[in-house]
Chains A and B, each alone.
Chain A
Amino acid sequence: DAGITQSPRHKVTETGTPVTLRCHQTENHRYMYWYRQDPGHGLRLIHYSYGVKDTDKGEVSDGYSVSRSKTEDFLLTLESATSSQTSVYFCAISEGTAVNYGYTFGSGTRLTVV
């Protein structure tokens, strides 16, 4: 989607290796989110950020860490990838938290841990 890009789009990695996914936005939105999507589970929130250096955990945060050193970038790191972290990862941005602000999602990163 315009204004939000995820990289890489696809990645295959080995169990036990560290992996970093990047979300980049050009909208200057304050709020950024990482979701994962798995069959039968819909989208589940991993971590979110409400400003530079301000982050918090979502419902499935174990095994993941995030960092936000600049407004435009939100990084998701798998410290030691496991096969259970094979998934499609979506980043989302939001201008605000009031109800009028919906989310804009990126195109996703397909991660396979072998």
Chain B
Amino acid sequence: DAKTTQPPSMDCAEGRAANLPCNHSTISGNEYVYWYRQIHSQGPQYIIHGLKNNETNEMASLIITEDRKSSTLILPHATLRDTAVYYCIVREQYNFNKFYFGSGTKLNVKP
């Protein structure tokens, strides 16, 4: 079962930062936070993952609270092509069959 809670939808203006929250209050010490997104009907696309430190790559930044009970995915300059469903996933380390997708957040980037 998905162990995360996300808002069903969010709006963001083009060019502004999109901040997508995720609650994972039952996360345990060996579980990582992954983010994927799904554009229209395509297959999900990997964005970023982390354990407890903040992470940044060419697509996004991931901010994890100190107690690890929540995190925020930041798209620094959202474009119309970032309109998608964003999934926050808690994954148990080394247990590959525990990769559960919830319902995600539909991000609408508007001109």
**A residues with CB within 8 A of B:** 1, 31, 33, 35, 40-45, 48, 50, 56, 58-59, 88, 90, 92, 94, 97-99, 102-108, 110
Contacts and interface: CB of A to CB of B under 8 A. Distances in A.
Given A99-B49, A99-B93, A42 B101 contact: yes
Interface in B47-76: 49, 51
Given A56-B97, A58-B97, A99-B94, A42 B46 contact: no
A98 to B, nearest CB: 6
A108 B87 contact: no
B41 A97 contact: no
Contacts of A48: 96-97
B28 to A, nearest CB: 13
Contacts of B34: 102
Nearest to B30: A99
B95 A97 contact: yes
Interface of B: 2, 32, 34, 36, 41-46, 49, 51, 87, 91, 93-97, 99-104
B97 A42 contact: no
Contacts of A105: 43-45
A27 to B, nearest CB: 14
Given A88-B41, A103-B46, A108-B41, A43 B93 contact: no
11 contacts: A31-B96, A40-B103, A42-B101, A43-B101, A58-B97, A94-B96, A99-B32, A99-B91, A102-B34, A103-B46, A105-B45
Nearest to A40: B103
A31 B95 CA distance: 12
Contacts of B96: 31, 48, 50, 94, 97
